[in-house]
Amino acid sequence: MGERALVTGGAGFIGSNLIAYLLRERPDWDVVCFDKLTYAGNLANLRLAEGNPRFTFVRGDVASSENVHALFAEHSFTFVFHLAAETHVDRSIQDAAPFVRTNLVGTAVLLEAARAAGVARFVHMSTDEVYGSIPAGSDESFDESSPLRPRNPYSATKAGADLLCQSYVTTFEMPVTIARPTNNYGSYQFPEKFLPLMITNLIEGRPIPIYGSGENLRDWLYVEDTCRALLMMAEKAEPGAIYNVAADELIPNIELARRVLSLMGQGPEMLRHVKDRPGHDFCYRLNAQRIREELGFTPSVGLDEGLSRVVAWYRENESWWREIKTGEYVKYFGRQYPEIAGGSQ
Ligand code: NAD
Ligand code: TDX
């Protein structure tokens, strides 16, 4: 019999890729997207799912008990993939409040509803940022038992959500599995994030802003590999397990920028060193042995291949990101789904 999966935050970058992936890879599953449609949510991201009879969109706020209650009253879920979050570190430095509300309160509300409903598996999307930063010159890496030492408001709220999930495993024996992936990139990534910002700026003839020296290191994971890991975790992981998900493609930001320049046929005059992010984490390096050994997961798209694909995608989908950069994309809000679950905003 087919299963029903809930994807929170499914109108965002990874969520929309996950929905397309689940509809394709699990042809007998129904998939429900629950999303508030914040500035980062965009119904245009769901064009591959739109019209599919196995897909339903519900507009709602994970931090609203009323909205979440209405969702669970309407649907019975086997799997919950919890991706809804405020996600941009720079925004969390400007104003932490929405991060606390969505990432902490939202996770608490959703856990409680999923527990009451007795879902078979709750996959929580955490992040590599919860471990904090590895200093320059160290070759340390984090495994799943490393302490959580978040250093910015975004990662602090993600660490809190991660711990809430762990508490539901020990207190209620709830079948929660936690994913801690590295930096994702791919189609439909909001152009405030580094990689799509670089590509779209270059197409517009604008420079690439490099925070500080550009020596900070990130590990770049192609979004479809993340989707595959999340599905494996839903279907194969032991309840309560935590998995790092890494690409093993750690490079300095400046080097990533140079590769993008080269792919796009542009030169170093397009680089601009700008003021550094306050508290800028230097490096996240993960040991991902556990998911490899226990679930057989290894990433399949290397950085060279992934970068070519993503540059091509942003070139071919100019209207998608131009509507975001001009703010025009809000036209999608309320176009087809004006109501919010449970009736109030
Ligand atoms: P995104 O910002 O592109 O999308 C977030 C989505 O969540 C949007 O559609 C937004 O409308 C929705 N949302 C926000 N607040 C909500 C609320 N209160 N109720 C319901 N929906 C709400 O984010 P993303 O990059 O796709 O990240 C998805 C998840 O993966 C997040 O939990 C993030 O912390 C985690 N993560 C992301 C990365 C990355 O590199 N992008 C890496 C590791 C982990
Ligand atoms: O304009 C920029 N210039 C720049 O040098 C931007 C936007 C970023 N950067 C640097 C900061 C980081 O070292 O590039 C790196 C990547 O920055 P972001 O795209 O903002 O990602 P990061 O801060 O690493 O966090 C991301 O990965 C972990 C996601 O946004 C998080 O949601 C995820 O949890």
Q: Give yes or no for residue 88 CB within 6 A of ligand 2.
A: yes
Classify residue 28 as exposed, middle or buried by CB count within 10 Å of its CB (0-12, 13-18, 19+): exposed
Residue 345 pLDDT grade (very low, low, confident, very high; cuts 50, 70, 90) = very low
Per-residue confidence (pLDDT) for residue 328, from 0 to 100: 78
Three-state SS annotation for the chain: CCCEEEEECCCCHHHHHHHHHHHHHCCCCEEEEEECCCCCCCHHHHCCCCCCCCEEEEECCCCCHHHHHHHHHHCCCCEEEECCCCCCHHHHHHCCHHHHHHHHHHHHHHHHHHHHHCCCEEEEECCHHHHCCCCCCCCCCECCCCCCCCCCHHHHHHHHHHHHHHHHHHHHCCCEEEEEECEEECCCCCCCCHHHHHHHHHHCCCCEEEECCCCCEEEEEEHHHHHHHHHHHHHHCCCCCEEEECCCCEEEHHHHHHHHHHHCCCCHHHEEEECCCCCCCCECCECCHHHHHHHCCCCCCCHHHHHHHHHHHHHHCHHHHHHHHHCHHHHHCCCCCCCCHHHCC
pLDDT digits (tens, 9 = 90+) for 89-131: 999 999 999 999 999 999 999 999 999 999 999 999 999 999 9
Distance 250 CA to ligand 2 centre (A): 13
The angle, 0 to 180 degrees and rounded to 10, between the axes of the packed helices 65-74 and 106-117 is 30
- d(C-alpha 338, C-alpha 59), whole Å: 8
Per-residue confidence (pLDDT) for residue 321, from 0 to 100: 96
Ligand 2 pocket mutation, candidates 188, 218, 250, 260, criterion most atoms within 8 A of CB: 218
Distance 332 CA to ligand 2 centre (A): 27
List active site positions: 128-129, 154
Q: Give yes or no for residue 194 CB within 6 A of ligand 2.
A: yes
Any idea which ligand is nearest the CA of 39?
1
pLDDT digits (tens, 9 = 90+) for 212-224: 999 999 999 999 9
Any idea which ligand is nearest the CA of 217?
2
The residue that leads in pLDDT, 307 or 331, is 307
Question: Does this model's pTM top 0.95?
Answer: yes
Residue nearest to atom 2 of ligand 2 (CA): 194
- Above pLDDT 70, what percent of the chain? 95
Distance 57 CA to ligand 2 centre (A): 29
Q: Are 243 and 180 in contact (CB under 8 A)?
A: yes
Distance 187 CA to ligand 1 centre (A): 14
Ligand 1 pocket mutation, candidates 13, 42, 43, 164, criterion most atoms within 8 A of CB: 13
Classify residue 78 as exposed, middle or buried by CB count within 10 Å of its CB (0-12, 13-18, 19+): middle
Q: Which structural domains are found in the chain, ordered by start?
A: 4-189+220-250+285-301+329-333 (3.40.50.720)
pLDDT digits (tens, 9 = 90+) for 3-36: 999 999 999 999 999 999 999 999 999 999 999 9
Q: Give yes or no for residue 89 CB within 6 A of ligand 2.
A: yes
Distance 163 CA to ligand 2 centre (A): 23
Q: Is the confidence at residue 72, as pLDDT, over 70?
A: yes
